Amino acid sequence: MAVRLKIEGGIDNDPQYKAKTLRARAEALARPVGKSEKDEACSEVVEFFLAHEQYCFELIHIREVYPLKAFTPLPCTPPFVLGIMNFRGQMR
């Protein structure tokens, strides 16, 4: 009989149901947000393009990013070798 009344009268007209539903929604929204699996699976990366291909390195493997400039050409090397550069007293 109660089911029939809810079907005919509609669930929205029952004040107890409305209060119960609103309380459940409020409790769900009031819960503190925890870390989700998606957040834990994210990594910070440095992304770059080389020869029209995309590459990424995780940030934990990178010490610093240094702009490339002032190469010293090396004789007898293939064309793809631009040269060497002095970086803090080390040849790179």
pLDDT in tens, 3-27: 666 666 655 667 888 888 888 888 8
Q: In whole angstroms, what is the distance from residue 55 CA to residue 65 CA? A: 15
Q: How confident is the model at residue 91 (pLDDT cuts 50, 70, 90)?
A: low
The DSSP element (H or E) to which 47 belongs, if any, is strand 45-50
Structural domain of residue 17, as residue ranges? Answer: 2-31+41-91
**pLDDT of res. 38:** 59
- Domain assignment present for residue 45? The answer is yes
Q: Is residue 14 part of a domain?
A: yes
One-letter amino acid of 28:
A
42 near 59, Cβ under 8 Å? no
| Chain-centre distance for alpha carbon 11 | 41
What is the CB neighbour count within 10 angstroms for residue 2?
7
pLDDT digits (tens, 9 = 90+) for 29-70: 888 877 665 556 778 899 988 888 999 999 999 888 877 777
Inside any domain, residue 36: no
Higher pLDDT, 89 or 2: 89
Number of structural domains (the chain) is 1
Q: Is the pTM of this model over 0.85?
A: no
